Structure 1
C-alpha cells in the first residue's frame, strides 16, 4: 500500500452505486495492535465533480507521518441525487461505518492497526469542507474536530446567486439545455468524475474540464450562472426547504458542535471569504472552540498547493 496505491474499500451500496473510500495507513509503530487516530479527508468539486484520488497527496503524507489513519471517501455526485440525500448522507454513513467497527474489520487484515474511535476528525476543501462540517450535526456521534478549507456555507446569502463572469468566459458558446440535461440520465449515480476544481492531477496528468462531457459542462455552467444551489438542492426552490436549514452548516451550529477551524483565501471569488466569517461568528456566539486563518491574496482551491508546515498552525488550533 502506498500513496499512489491505497487500499480501496466499499463502505456503502445504494441503487447500484458502489461507494468506496481509499484507506491510507501510517507506518507500523508496534508489532502488537495499536490504536491510531482517524482522519476523514473529503475532496471538493462543488458536489458535482471530483473523486477520492483528487486530493493533495502531500497533505495525506503529512497526516500519515503524524501517525494517523486517513480515509478519503467518494460520495454520490449531484444533481442525480440532492445534496442532503446524496453527498451528505454518504459521508455520514461513512462515519457510522467507522464507529460501527467496520473499519476495524478491514484494519485487522492489514496488520496491528486499530481505529481510535475517540479520535476521529474530518477535513475537506470547498464542498468537501461543507461535508466535513456536516459531520458535526444530525449524526449519532459527531467527529472530534473539523477543519474546513474554504467550505461552502451560509446558503441564504445573496452571494450564492451571483453570476461569475470569469467562469462563464471559460465555457464554449451554444451549450444546449438538452446536452446539459444528459447529466440526469446517468445511472447508477456516479461517484467520480475525471475533472477536479482544485487543480490536482491524477497519475501526473492534469484533469481540466472537458466540455464535450455533459457533467463538466453542466457543473461549470451552474457555477458561472450562480445556480449551483438550485441544481444540487432542488428542495430550496420547491419550498420543501427554502431556507436550507437541513444542509447549511451556518444554521446548524450549536454549543455541542465539534471544535472547528477554518482556512480561507482573502481573494476567493468562488466562495467569498465573508461566508466563512459568518460561520466563525456563529461558532463563536455558540461558545464552540474555533478559529480562522485568512490567507492573503489566495483564490479558491489554493489548498491543493499548500506545503507541509503551513498546516501545523491549522492542526494545532483545530485541536486535531
Structure 2
C-alpha cells in the first residue's frame, strides 16, 4: 500500500450517498497484530468542495512515520445537506465507526494491524479543521486530541458576513441565479468535487476553479459575497441564528480534548483572529492547548508548502502536540 493507492472502504450510506474513507497504514514488520494510534485527516473546501485525495500527502506521510494509521474521509458536501446534518454528522459517524470496531474488522485482512481505540485523534485544514473540532463536543466519545489548521470558527464574528473583493475578482460577471442553483439538483448529495478551495487537484497541481461547473461557481460566489454560513447552515438566516450546534468556539469547556491550532498570519479567507479567539477560550477553560502562527502564510498553505521549509517545521509543531497525547505507534 502506497500514498498513491490507499485502501478505500465504505463507512456510511445516507440517502443513496456512499461515503468512503481512505486508509493509510504505517510500515509494519510484525507478524502478530499490534495496536496503532488512529488519526483522522479531514480535507478542506468550505464544506462545499474537495474530496479525500485533496489533502497534503506530506502531512499523511509524516503521520505514517510516527506509526499512526491515517483515515482520510469523504463527507457529503453542502448545500444539498446542511453542515450539521451532512459533513459534521458524517465525520462524527466515522469516529463512531472506528470506536465500534469496524476499522479493526477492515484491518483484520491487512495483517499486523489493530486500532488503538484509546488513542484516536483528528486534524483538518480549513473546513476540515472545523469538522475535526466537531469531534470534541456533542459526541458520545470525543477524539483524544485535535489539531485545527486554519479552521473556520467563531461564527458570530462580523467577518462571516463580509464580502471578499479579492475572491469576487476571480468570478465571471455573467453567472445567473438559475445556473448557480443547479447545485441543488444534484442527487444523491455528492461526496467529492473536482477542485478544492485552493484549486488543488488530485495530483496536487494548482488549478483554478471551473466556473462552468455550478458547484465551483456556487461555492466561490458564496465565499466572495460573505454568505457561506447561510449556504451551509440555513438556520443562520434567521433573525437570531443559533451557531452553538456547529461552532467550536461556543462549545469549549474544561472537558474539551487537548487541542492545537496552526494558522497563517496573512490569512484573508479565515483571519487568524478567529483562531486566536478559540485559543483564548481553550486557555480560559484550562484545556491543554497550543497555537502556532505561521508568518506570511495565506489560507490553504498546507497544500503548497515544501517539506523542510520554515512553514513545514512550524506547522509540524501541531503534529508533535498530537504525538504528545496519543504517542507513537510500534517502532
Name the TM-score class by shorter chain: over 0.9
What's 2:286 paired with? Answer: 287
Q: Secondary structure at the match of 1:94?
A: helix
Any gaps of 5 or more consecutive residues in structure 2?
Answer: 326-331
CA deviations on 1:77-125 (whole Å, 9 max, x unpaired) are 0000001000000000000000000000000011110000011000000
In the superposition, the TM-score normalised over structure 2's length comes to 0.94
What's 2:242 paired with? Answer: 243
Deviation of the 1:205 alpha carbon:
4.8
2:265 corresponds to 1:266? yes
What's 2:321 paired with? Answer: 317
How many residue pairs match? The answer is 319
Q: Which stretch has the larger CA shift, 227-236 or 206-215?
A: 206-215
CA deviations on 1:29-79 (whole Å, 9 max, x unpaired) are 311110000000000000000000000111111111111100000000000
State how far apart, in whole Å, the 2-side matches of 1:94 and 1:204 are. 25
Deviation of the 1:305 alpha carbon:
2.7
2:59 corresponds to 1:59? yes
For the 8 Å contact 2:79–2:184, the answer to whether it is kept is: yes
For the 8 Å contact 1:199–1:301, the answer to whether it is kept is: no
For the 8 Å contact 1:35–1:113, the answer to whether it is kept is: yes
Quickly say closer, same or farther: Cα 1:203–1:315, change in 2 above 3 A. Answer: closer
For the 8 Å contact 2:199–2:209, the answer to whether it is kept is: no
For the 8 Å contact 1:194–1:207, the answer to whether it is kept is: no
2:175 corresponds to 1:171? no
What's 2:328 paired with? Answer: none
Any gaps of 5 or more consecutive residues in structure 1?
Answer: none
Deviation of the 1:216 alpha carbon:
0.2
For the 8 Å contact 1:45–1:126, the answer to whether it is kept is: yes
State how far apart, in whole Å, the 2-side matches of 1:106 and 1:314 are. 28
What's 1:20 paired with? Answer: 20
CA deviations on 1:176-197 (whole Å, 9 max, x unpaired) are 0000000000000000001012
Q: Which stretch has the larger CA shift, 190-199 or 16-25?
A: 190-199
Q: Secondary structure at the match of 2:281?
A: helix
State how far apart, in whole Å, the 1-side matches of 2:148 and 2:184 are. 29
Q: Which stretch has the larger CA shift, 23-32 or 95-104?
A: 23-32
For the 8 Å contact 1:199–1:304, the answer to whether it is kept is: no
For the 8 Å contact 1:56–1:200, the answer to whether it is kept is: no
Q: Which stretch has the larger CA shift, 198-207 or 4-13?
A: 198-207
Quickly say closer, same or farther: Cα 1:12–1:290, change in 2 above 3 A. Answer: same
For the 8 Å contact 1:78–1:232, the answer to whether it is kept is: yes
Q: Secondary structure at the match of 1:220?
A: helix
What's 2:68 paired with? Answer: 68
What's 2:194 paired with? Answer: 194
Quickly say closer, same or farther: Cα 1:206–1:267, change in 2 above 3 A. Answer: closer
Q: Alpha carbon RMSD of aligned pairs, Å?
A: 1.3
Q: Secondary structure at the match of 2:268?
A: coil
What's 1:208 paired with? Answer: 208
For the 8 Å contact 1:92–1:134, the answer to whether it is kept is: yes
2:274 corresponds to 1:275? yes
